[in-house]
Structure 1
């Protein structure tokens, strides 16, 4: 339908059929041929007939924009607008899968002319009714009551779009030979003109945004979209993304999913449009072509039993012959990504699928990679035996299979088998070197490393010597480690300063150990943080000036810069000074840096400890204190003395239960009795409990441990003084020599009441 006059001609033909005129109405238009007002004459004649019949016409237009409005000339659009405004005999109801720009462009004749009704997709209940109707008279039916979940899935997958729902239902519901997925390709071809037009009509920036959203499949935030789009080497601004998303939402291309924050999520509104995009614009490397199918199957078979039943039937069909190979390949790739499936069944599926594929398709399936994925998946599911079984029955094992299998043998305490797998490695390269090294260390056999290195031509001799040296080093054989490190140096490798430094420090030569690290620092192969760590933990007297010199040399974006800068100020300033607050600022920045690179070593413990102490002693900022305590709990690396600091913090927050739990830990109590420093911290925390009137919690701690009562006797009798009405006979046991210490403790408790209100 490409002209207004063509529309009137079409309607006249319709009336000829309706009133069985043998074509008289349409033939009458011959009288208007070659007249300048041909279209007007046809329209007037049409209205004349309608009036004579006492009828009106309602036109139902599918794809109203694409198949009609877009084809009209500007003059015809204005003429149609005039007709619709003045003539009551014709009304139009149009449908469009895309937003018509003519309706939103001020310069166009139909700007805000039509009443627009946005049609929502069918609900799950309405989808259920539609499927029920579709199945009437069908030979193959599904039990609607038992398969309510599957129907819900169809509603989700198609977005409730009836046309799409019917196509997908017919294709996927009864797939006996794998042809359904081939048929799906035909369906995608049918919708391609519509969807292609939908994409190409978008401005370029919106097109790029849709590309990111579609390929993610799951809902995504504006901020996440911004990280994927660059313009001239710069990331697209989030506020610009948000503005474009608002327009896409208005045009029904995307839907916004509200969150409880300002960062809402966005998804393509019509899920089948998303499927089409993935299938037509995805690439194999990113597995986008099967991502949608994976999601579908996960929803369709919503429990392990139902999907495994499907798989068993599917494997039988594969083995019976005649199954479509292309569909089998697509299904195998999709099913491999579903976590709820038993890996052994998936392994059987891969074998059965591989058997019906040609050589090219088999290479696409990459069964070796799939076997490795399945084995690792079993391991993650804590089924080590299953993981080992899958790799052991892999026919053509490559190096990655042997390495992972060796690791699984170690976990399963089959140490004797590790040597067999490592000895069978073929010409390992640098990429595998670290893994091999770790396996030799785990099996405590440096000779394995020597054997593997002797069979590799891809690795330089100097790197082989370094790797062998590393194995000896990790196993504590410093003499042989040094021997191989020196060989590496002879072959031209840069001196392994750090491990050699450790060796000399172990021998008591801290001076040469320091010299090695400083030389490595100058050469650029030792990190400043390594030297600083040495100063922190290896020398009796801390060389503060040297530490400061190195810290000042560090780049400001070095993750350890803020840590050591803050630590230095923290140690050198008085608690109440302004500089102490500056130190806290550096340490808080260091915490952010450590999170980025996932540092969880002794320095992280120091960092958390100092921040905790600062927030306890100085700031008394309860929000900050709560945050740092939560971080401390997450880290799960706190030694006993730091758990006491945590308990102190929880008391300040009023969480006496959690504080008591930490103080009750056996190791905390044991260390508090044995070590003077920790005993003081533990005692201060008990006094804070008492300052907060939590006397009975402290009494419980003393009651459960007689040794604690002996170690902190003055505090115990200070408690008994406060509880003398309940336990009048206990205070009598106190010796005269404790009178003053107990009095001092009671005074301190009163002071703490004021200090920690």
Structure 2
């Protein structure tokens, strides 16, 4: 709750810096210092005995215009020489009660009365307000009182375009005339867009101002801002570590925020606490707060430009005209023309490439964030790409892993609402260069529609199994393995090869009673990872049981396998599976289990091209009348059969060497 209140207060101060303590504000003023020094130096050097140069600060919302104007105000007030004769009069962005030029003089008069003891000025103005030429009368009174107090004024007006739009053309010309001829007033204004009245030579303010563009912060300015924000949030050590070890993150963060100070401050506040849920909620509160502004921005655009901005915003990364044309289904020449207009109005930013084809993106990245959060489709992973980019720039691999594990823990304990769970699940699904176990845990705790993006690759999957086997974490091994889909032949082939090598690594006492597990998984009705594990385990334990002459165990293993074969739908059999079937028969014949070999041979539900040979081998080895059997064979089959039989005999001899007590089974 405290954090939410703090963020709410900080949000208010971000949008209303004048509410911040003056000394705190000055100490935190660490960017745009060169522009401030340039203008303030000019103010100090001017005596205003004749009209001075007027300034227009241009920059998108959040670029620092309001902050810069307020810093100039405080500097003038704190300068012992200037403050004796110069009064800074500051107006905020919204001046809804100024609709005529005369209203401006009224508000200046009120300001002088309220803050600078200009007694009686509004009372003197009052009788003239209803007159036709009241503006001229009010202005004369204002100048008279300024002369009386031996004062001059610096007008600091934010969003002057909004103010001028309420004035008629004659009033704008009148204002220009006053500022050009009367040395009592100097204007320093701000605007988020280039004013038509400044660009058009036919307009009254053409080439009137000295214009200063507040561009996106440089890396050096970003560092200065981050250091100051770190002091506020007590994160100095972390920021210094980032600056020293991974300075490229600063550039990424600058790109993401568009170098807009307000956006950087918002992102810093929201993510510096490494939390889930509250951070996202706080961000959405801020985004809700700017919704009227951004919605108004969209509503002001013509339909075709709205369509283009929508496509650019949802794409997030810079997009070419060619790709944009496909998205909006408009002629490329028309798209290019609309992009030029959007660029002129500072909605779209054009970026050059190595070719003649430029790429385009939204100039204000926070606007893009707002648009993705508000209009991005649930199934579109791009709707959270901004958060991914931020985390990539802000956190190293270890920090990302900690965040993901914290997220998994909160999901397991039901501490996240559905929206937060889905958003962060999508965000973390983008991170591939993380520990395979972390990736697995993430995949286990995200929505189904995201899982395809986070599923372990085959290589990672087997690395994770190796890790669990090395740790002797058999329960995790089985859980991870048995959830894997290996229905495709190539997947089964690799899985079987892996398991045949891995099964011997298990501790013997933990090679559990398979029968219960076999029965439990019979409903799978497919060649699952569990099936292949049971096959590999059967092959291993069958061979051991034969060596150690455990006839009951051999019979139990074969009965389990035959039962299992009845439930499995064999379609395309892999080479490893075929080898397994043959190996089982080979082992049984080596141990003298002829009837069990016949049972297996009949149970295998496949059409093996060698099945006739194996049946002959089994019959031959189990029969007392081998000559009669040989007489029925063709020469080619007889040769192959003899090869198999000889191989089995050699294998028996090898067993005998290792296990001197070994005898052929007398069970049959």
State the TM-score bracket (shorter-chain normalisation). Answer: 0.5 to 0.7
Deviation at 1:155, TM superposition (A): 2.2
Q: Shift of the alpha carbon at 1:385?
A: 5.4
Which of 273, 294, 306 aligns to 1:174? It is 273
SS at the partner of 1:347? Answer: helix
* Alignment partner, residue 329 of structure 1: 422
Per the TM alignment, residue 256 of structure 1 is displaced from its structure 2 partner at its CA by 2.5
Deviation string 1:678-708 (CA, Å, 9 cap, x unpaired) is xxxxxxxxxxxxxxxxxxxxxxxxxxxxxxx
- Conserved? CA contact 1:222–1:241, under 8 Å: yes
2:310, 2:347 → 1: CA distance? 12
The one-character-per-residue Cα deviations of 1:439-497 (angstroms, maximum 9, x if unpaired) are 944648999xxxxxxxxxxxxxxxxxxxxxxxx99x99xxxxxxxxxxxxxxxxxxxxx
Please tell me whether the aligned partners of residues 497 and 576 of structure 2 are also in contact (alpha carbons under 8 angstroms).
no
Q: Secondary structure at the match of 2:301?
A: coil
**1:386, distance to aligned residue in structure 2 (A):** 4.4
Shift of 1:197: 3.2
Deviations 1:589-621 (CA, angstroms, capped at 9, x unpaired): xxxxxxxxxxxxxxxxxxxxxxxxxxxxxxxxx
Q: How does 1:496-535 map to 2 (within 5 A)?
A: none
* Correspondence for 2:263: 164
Q: 1:396, 1:69 → 2: CA distance?
A: 71
Q: What is the TM-score of this pair, normalised by structure 2?
A: 0.54
Q: Residue 446 and residue 142 in structure 1: after superposition, are their counterparts in 2 closer, same or farther (change >3 A)?
A: closer
Say whether 1:92 aligns with 2:191: no
Deviation at 1:179, TM superposition (A): 0.7
For 1:338 and 1:46, locate their aligned partners in 2 and report how far apart those are by CA, in whole Å.
64
* Alpha-carbon distance between aligned partners in 2 of 1:384 and 1:421, rounded to the nearest angstrom: 25
Flag structure 1 segments of 5+ consecutive residues without an equivalent: 231-235, 355-364, 426-437, 448-471, 477-757
Query: Which residue in the other structure is 1:6 paired with?
Result: 103
Q: Which residue of 1 aligns with 2:515?
A: none
What's the counterpart of residue 18 of structure 1? 115
Structure 1 residues 305-314 or 31-40, which shifts more? 305-314
- Paired with 1:147 and 1:416, the residues of 2 have a C-alpha distance of 44
How many residue pairs get aligned? The number is: 415
Aligned pair 1:338/2:431, yes or no? yes
Q: Do 1:391 and 1:405's aligned partners in 2 also have CA atoms closer than 8 Å? A: no
Give the alignment partner of residue 353 of structure 2, picking from 247, 252, 259.
259
CA contact (8 A) 2:193 2:345 kept: yes
Separation (CA, whole Å) in 2 of partners of 1:138 and 1:93:
33
Backbone CA RMSD of aligned residues: 4.1
1:229 alignment counterpart: 328
Out of 124, 139, 149, the position equivalent to 1:28 is 124
Structure 1 residue 126, shift from structure 2 partner: 0.9
| Structure 1 residues 301-320: aligned runs within 5 Å | 301-302=395-396, 304-316=397-409
- The residue aligned with 2:316 is 217
Distance change in 2, residues 1:439/1:249 (3 Å): farther
C-alpha separation in 1, matches of 2:333 and 2:477: 50
Q: How much has 1:101 moved relative to structure 2?
A: 4.3
Preserved CA contact (<8 Å) 1:208 1:229: yes
Give the secondary structure class of the aligned counterpart of 2:137.
helix
Paired residues for 1:49-60 under 5 Å: 49-60=145-156
CA deviations 1:375-420 (Å, max 9, x no partner) are 2x423x66445499999748998xxx74767763333236999x97
| Alignment partners' CA distance in 1, 2:577 and 2:230 | 69
Instruction: Show the 5 A alignment for 1:727-742.
Output: none
Aligned residue in 2 for 1:409: 492
- TM-score (ref. length: structure 1): 0.48
Q: Is the 8 A contact 1:9 1:26 kept in 2?
A: yes
CA distance in 2, matches of 1:205, 1:111: 30
CA distances 1:341-394 after superposition (whole Å, capped 9, x unpaired): 33531332355xx5xxxxxxxxxx52x34444322x423x66445499999748
Contact 1:221 1:265 in 2 (8 A): yes
C-alpha spacing 1:296/1:393, structure 2 compared with 1 (3 Å)? farther
Contact 1:371 1:394 in 2 (8 A): no
Among 118, 121, 127, the alignment partner of 2:222 is 127
Over 3 Å counting, the alpha-carbon distance change for 1:318 and 1:220 in structure 2 is same
Secondary structure at 2:154's aligned position in 1? strand
Unaligned runs of 5+ in 2: 1-94, 469-475, 501-520, 528-568, 579-605, 610-668
Asked whether the equivalents of residues 249 and 255 of structure 1 are also in contact (C-alpha less than 8 Å), the reply is yes
Contact map agreement 1:159 1:269 (CA 8 A) in 2: yes
Deviation at 1:122, TM superposition (A): 1.2
Is 2:199–2:206's contact at 8 Å kept on the other side of the alignment? yes
Which protein has greater RCO, CA pairs closer than 8 Å, 6+ apart? Answer: 2
TM-superposed deviation, 1:7: 1.9
Q: Give the equivalent residue in structure 1 for 2:387.
A: 293
Output the CA distance in 1 between the equivalents of 2:293 and 2:190.
13
Q: Distance in 1 between matches of 2:135 and 2:454?
A: 69
Determine the structure 2 residue equivalent to 1:713.
none
Q: Distance in 2 between matches of 1:127 and 1:325?
A: 35
Aligned partner of 1:373 in structure 2 is 453
